[in-house]
Amino acid sequence: MITLPHPSATWRSLLFIPANNEKFIAAAASRGADAIILDLEDSIPYALKAEARQSLPDHISHLSAQNVDVVVRINYDMINAVADLDVAVTKNTAAILVPKVLGVDHLRLLDDAIGLLESQRNIPKGSIKLIALIETIVAIESAAVIAIGVMSFFIAACLLPREFLRSTLRRYDLRFHKLARAHKDCHARNRQGQMKRGCLLV
């Protein structure tokens, strides 16, 4: 279960849908998921990514009008990520899903880009959240640094269950107490509305 400072405060289920699959998107609101993830990354062939971006704002608006929270998974490489953000940052977007996060600097760059687009489009700064996917051994080993580092500039709220953090880090024989402490602090800051941009680390 994911709790974010957003009008639909709790996400118990998230459904991935390719951002260019109009048939699936049309039926998405009836599937019962708390949030729909429109995917611009792995499910879209490279040759079709530009085409998928063209229709993305309309899909976001359509789903949001049906009271569905919309998340957009962007691409990992920076060239495609910037192009993705240009169409994904809208007043109806609940969060940006960031794949293959490498570290704090990676998230900082994306936060800066999102913040600039929010300002240009009169979207309240920080209203679009970040979901950071930890997908590599290197990132898992750096998870505590990422969690503590993003706290230093109030971007992230670490929302994974504490026992999951403990078991995952133990599996890789890593120390977990710093990340658990950061996780607890982020939860408290998130509840108090002190986080500039919420961020789930997965």
CATH number at residue 24: 3.20.20.60
Total domain count, the chain: 1
Q: Among 112, 117, 129, 119, which residue's Cα sits nearest to residue 71? A: 129
The CA angle 126-130-132, to the nearest 5 degrees, is: 155
C-alpha span between 176 and 162 (Å, rounded): 10
Query: Phi and psi of 59, rounded to 5°?
Result: -65, -40
Structural domain contains residue 129: no
- Taking only the tens place, the pLDDT of each residue in 155-178 is 333 444 455 555 555 554 444 455
Structural domain contains residue 151: no
Q: Among 93, 101, 16, 88, which residue's Cα sits nearest to residue 52? A: 88
30 DSSP assignment: G
Q: From residue 167, give the alpha-carbon distance in Å to each of 31, 188, 191.
A: 32, 22, 25
Whether the pTM exceeds 0.85: the reply is no
Higher-pLDDT residue of 95 and 139 is 95
What is the per-residue pLDDT for 107?
Answer: 85
**27: enclosing H helix or E strand:** helix 22-27
Structural domain boundaries enclosing 46: 1-99
Structural domain contains residue 38: yes
Name the band, by pLDDT with cuts 50, 70 and 90, for residue 32. Answer: confident
Helix, strand, or coil (residue 103): coil
**199: enclosing H helix or E strand:** strand 199-201
**196: enclosing H helix or E strand:** none
What is the per-residue pLDDT for 164?
Answer: 52
Structural domain contains residue 197: no
C-alpha span between 75 and 102 (Å, rounded): 13
Percentage of the chain surpassing pLDDT 70?
65
pLDDT tops 80 at residue 10: no
- Taking only the tens place, the pLDDT of each residue in 47-71 is 999 999 999 999 999 999 999 999 9
Q: Is residue 18 a contact partner of residue 39, using CB atoms and an 8 Å limit?
A: yes
